[in-house]
Amino acid sequence: MLDAVFWIALVKVLAVNLILSGDNAVVIAMAARSLQGSQRRQAIIWGAAGAVALRLVFAAIISFLLEIPFLQVAGGLLLIWIAWKLVHDEAEEGEEKIEAGQSAWQAIRIIIVADAVMSLDNVIALVGAARIGGEVNWALMVIGLATTIPLVVFGAALLTSLLDRFPILIYAGAALLIYIAVEMFFADEVLHHYLESLVSIEWIIGISAAAIFTAIAWLWKRRSEQGA
């Protein structure tokens, strides 16, 4: 049973990472666009590695903070906002302003700084997905962060192409974030006391919330497109 829970959590971590790594892959591609050959490879690999190390620090801090009452509620609400932003933001303005590094070390610095600014939402989502029994499983967290490197190094073009070709993946990712947000509400030290009687149907509430959110987000986007 514990193995099954671990593998389900791992699938959630990898799915969240896949959906949310697109922006970071674009940042790395833009920062290294002026470099050639070995300098470009060096900038991409070391920039991604530095960004992942910084995320690990963020994850440790966030995991500690989430033990404070009501902060898991705040984290869950933030995940709902991230899910909405994922569906409705066509392009990040910050991405267009990423300058190109003129040397490998300059590009590495740009990648790490830009990723630090952009990755807080990714880390919060990963921390939420990596929780088993209300506690962060650091094996899952490390796997999630480690898979960021190949995703952002090799996946910029692939991720962009996949999300453009199969928009349903974006909605699936947003629905997963809503499900994780519900889990965080149930795991909050204070809110859990009031939701304890509903623990047995937590998964039903999570799936229902994800379905309702996805329907509202799709209808809102369709209405916006028709209005434009």
**Local confidence pLDDT in tens for the 228 residues of the chain:** 457 788 888 888 888 777 776 666 666 666 666 677 777 777 777 777 777 777 778 888 887 777 788 877 887 888 888 788 878 764 444 444 555 556 777 777 776 776 666 666 678 788 888 887 767 788 888 888 777 767 666 665 565 566 667 778 778 878 888 988 898 888 887 887 888 899 899 989 999 999 999 999 989 888 887 765
Question: From CA 65, how far away is CA 228, in angstroms rounded?
Answer: 42
CB 144 within 8 A of CB 63: no
Alpha-carbon distances, residue 198 vs 7, 153, 204 (angstroms): 24, 42, 10
Question: From CA 111, how far away is CA 152, in angstroms rounded?
Answer: 11
pTM of the full predicted structure? 0.67
CB 118 within 8 A of CB 24: yes
Question: From CA 31, how far away is CA 11, in angstroms rounded?
Answer: 30
pLDDT of 93 reads: 45
Q: Considering its fold, how many domains does the chain have in total?
A: 1
Which residue range(s) make up the domain with 83? 2-227
Q: Would you list the DSSP string of 141-184?
A: HHHHHHTHHHHHHH-HHHHHHHHHH-THHHHHHHHHHHHHHHHH
Q: Which of 38, 12, 49, 15 is nearest to 159 (CA)?
A: 15
CB 47 within 8 A of CB 32: yes
CB 20 within 8 A of CB 125: yes
Q: Kindly give, in sequence order, each residue whose CB lies less than 8 Å from that of residue 194, ignoring residues fewer than 6 positions away.
A: none
